Amino acid sequence: MSAELYIGLMSGTSLDGVDAALVQIGKGELQLLGSTCLPYPDDVRAAALALHAPGPDDLHHASLLANRVATLYAEAVDDLLDLAGTEARHIRALGAHGQTVRHNPAAGYTLQLINPSLLAELSGIPVVADFRSRDIAAGGQGAPLVPAFHDAALRHPAEHRVVLNLGGIANITDLAPGKPTRGFDTGPGNMLLDAWIQRQRGLPYDENGAWGARGTARESLLAQLQAHPYLQQPPPKSCGREEFNIGWLMSCLNGSEAPEDVQATLVELSARSIADAIHAHCGTPDAVFACGGGARNPALMAALARRLPNVKVTTTDSAGLDGDSLEAIAFAWLAQRTLHGLSGNLPAVTGARGERILGAVYPR
Tens digits of residue pLDDT in 13-46? 889 999 999 999 998 889 999 999 999 999 999 9
Annotate 313-326 with DSSP letters as a single string.
Answer: EEEGGGGTS-TTTH
Residue 313 has pLDDT above 70, yes or no: yes
Q: Is residue 21 located within the same domain as residue 135?
A: yes
In sequence order, the 6+-apart residues with CB closer than 8 A to the CB of 215 are 258, 259, 260, 261, 262, 263, 264, 265
pLDDT in tens, 229-255: 999 999 999 999 999 999 999 999 999
Q: Is residue 355 located within the same domain as residue 312?
A: no
CATH number at residue 42: 3.30.420.40
In sequence order, the 6+-apart residues with CB closer than 8 A to the CB of 265 are 215, 217, 218, 221, 222, 225
Q: What is the pTM of this model?
A: 0.94
CA–CA separation, 208 and 295 (whole Å) = 10
CA–CA separation, 348 and 350 (whole Å) = 6
Half-sphere exposure of 192 (CA within 13 A, CB side): 30
Q: Is residue 167 located within the same domain as residue 58?
A: no
Q: Is residue 251 located within the same domain as residue 121?
A: no
pLDDT in tens, 222-236: 999 999 999 999 999
pLDDT in tens, 196-210: 999 999 999 999 999
pLDDT in tens, 128-149: 999 999 999 999 999 999 999 9
CA–CA separation, 191 and 241 (whole Å) = 8
Q: Is residue 151 located within the same domain as residue 271?
A: yes
Mean pLDDT across the stretch 151-174? 97
Residue 1 has pLDDT above 70, yes or no: no
Q: In sequence order, what are the beta bridge partners of 162?
A: 174, 288
pLDDT in tens, 342-357: 999 999 999 999 999 9
CA–CA separation, 162 and 174 (whole Å) = 5
Q: For residues 289 and 318, is the Cβ–Cβ distance under 8 A?
A: yes
Q: For residues 14 and 168, is the Cβ–Cβ distance under 8 A?
A: yes
Q: Is residue 297 located within the same domain as residue 167?
A: yes
pLDDT of residue 310: 93
pLDDT of residue 115: 98
pLDDT band with cut points at 50, 70 and 90 for residue 302: very high
Domain that holds residue 238: 146-319
Q: In sequence order, what are the beta bridge partners of 91?
A: 5
Instruction: Please name the amino acid found at residue 110.
Output: T
Q: Is residue 272 located within the same domain as residue 337?
A: no
The per-residue b/e assignment along 341-359, b for 16 or more CB within 10 angstroms, e otherwise, is eebbbbbbbbbbeeebebb
Q: Is residue 171 located within the same domain as residue 308?
A: yes
Q: Is 236 helix (H, G, I), strand (E, B) or coil?
A: coil
Q: Is residue 182 located within the same domain as residue 38?
A: no
